[in-house]
Amino acid sequence: MPSRPYPTVLKPYGRALVALAQARPEVVCLTGDLTRQCEIDLFQETFPDRFIHAGMAEANMVSMAGTLARAGFMPFVHSFGVFSTRRPLDQIINSVAYPNLPVRIVGFMPGVSSPGGPSHQAIEDVALMRAIPNMTVIDVADAIETERALPLIADIPGPVYLRLKRGEIPVIFDEGHSFSLTEVARVRDGQDVALIVSGMMLSPALAAAEVLEEAGVSVQVVNVPVIKPIDATGIAATVARVRAVVTCENHSIIGGLGSAVAEVMAEAGSGRPLRRIGLRDTFAEGARTAPPLFQKYGLGTNDIIAAAWQALGRDGAAPRAAPVTASPGEYAPV
């Protein structure tokens, strides 16, 4: 795997969607007034006849996507995560999920990756989507996963919520990375603590694992791009091989990955201590940039290290990670 700081690329989703649309003529693209921000200016240029401006009208956009799917199209619906899940929740449920239609709801700017304040920070989108029957929920970690995921998503018969980072997208995995919709990915093996992560939290978890290893803690890192349906077998097998578990998500600790893992652990009777990294039932706020928000709300590398240290019952102060500086075009976790 590449090492920190990670190289980044622009518009991996936009390119992957165009590639998918070249292979699948039924793919159509809808936008809620956030075309460039959702990387689909590439689609608009390539397939103008399959590109639909819905305007700032998310309810109408989602209900239209439902009937376009009934008519044989595969609609990809785009906005920021806050607007694509909160505003049209009833439409997602009734116009899309209940009829189990192949509509793909795409939400950019997860969690506190937006410094735009609570109106722009999707901190409960995974929880909302996870509660809906028939819905698949995906939070990919990097550009490689984005590219690999798209063709697989196209084959899911029902609706999908796809959560994507906006802007410069890190490349964390190697080109050879095999992406699965059904199995979690063990990125690093270890016996003391498992860091079970999704989306943007993979890179700080990998950084935390290195620091913990230096301090004599054996760390397993498991990436969970598909939060629902969750790979309960893979999660239970991971948990069985360690003494403590830390989940890491750029989302509220209520209803997202941490809750999903807790449910699996409880039903398996695993009895391991669990710590959940995420927003602790609070709204965040606006800022100039996102990193201070990751820091303030406990989503940084050192927060993961401290949580693992505590969950294992280690004495003394937890080790700390050396700061990593990223040059322009590079990505380093907080």
Partner 1 sequence: MTSDPALGRLADRLRLNALNMVAPHGFGYLGQALSSAELFAALYANHYRPGRDRIVISPGHYIVVAFAAAAETGQMDRALLDTYGHDGAPLEAIGTEKSPAVDLTCGSLGQGLSGAVGFALGQKMKRENGARVFAMISDGELEEGQVWEAAMFAAHNRLDNLVALLDANDSQVDGPISSITTIDPIADKFESFGWAAFDVDGHDADAIDAAIARAVAAGRPAVVIARTSTRQGLACLPDGVDGHFIKLPPELADAARTELEARLA
Nearer to partner 1, 63 or 259 (CB): 63
Measured in degrees and rounded to the nearest 5, phi and psi for residue 51 equal -110, 130
- Shortest spacing between CB 30 and partner 1, in angstroms: 10
Least separation, in Å, of the C-beta of 277 and partner 1? Answer: 36
To the nearest whole angstrom, how small is the minimum distance from the Cβ of residue 99 to partner 1? 5
Q: Return the number of the residue (49 or 315) whose C-beta is nearest partner 1.
A: 49
Q: Which of 254, 36, 23 is closest to 13 using CA atoms? A: 36
Cβ proximity to partner 1, 67 vs 310, nearer residue: 67
The sign of the CA dihedral 80, 86, 91, 93 is: positive
Cis peptide before 2 (omega within 30 of 0): no
Residue 39 annotated to the active site:
no
Binding site for partner 1 (CB under 8 A): 28, 49-50, 52, 54-55, 57, 59-60, 63-68, 70-73, 90-91, 93-95, 98-99
Give whichever of 72 and 316 is closer to partner 1, judged by the CB atom.
Answer: 72
Question: Least distance (Å) from partner 1 to the CB of residue 63?
Answer: 3
Closer of 88 and 225 to partner 1 (Cβ): 88
Separation between Cα atoms, residue 217 and residue 289, nearest integer Å: 33
Residue number, 27 or 211, with CB nearest to partner 1:
27
Choosing from 26, 39, 58, 214, which is the catalytic residue?
Answer: 58
- Minimum CB–partner distance for residue 55 and partner 1 (Å): 7
How far is Cα 96 from Cα 223, in angstroms, rounded to an integer?
28
In the complex, least distance from residue 94 CB atom to partner 1, rounded to whole angstroms = 5
Nearer to partner 1, 64 or 261 (CB): 64
Count other C-beta atoms under 10 Å from residue 269's C-beta.
Answer: 7
Q: What angle do CA 76, 79, 81 make, to 5 degrees?
A: 110
How many CA atoms, within 13 angstroms, populate the side-chain half-sphere of residue 209? 29
What is the token pair recorded at 231?
Answer: 């790979």
Q: How far apart are CA 232 and CA 79, in angstroms?
A: 30
Strands (E), 17-135: 27-31, 51-53, 74-80, 104-108
Radius of gyration of the chain (CA): 19
Q: For residue 186, how far is the Cα from the chain centroid?
A: 16
Residue with tokens 């590398």: 301
Apex 116 CA angle, 110 and 117, nearest 5:
90
- Cis before 5 (ω within 30): yes
* CB of 101 vs partner 1, minimal distance in Å: 10
Q: What's the order of all strands across the beta sheet hosting 168-170?
A: 168-170, 6-10, 330-331
Q: Tell me which residues are annotated as active site.
A: 58
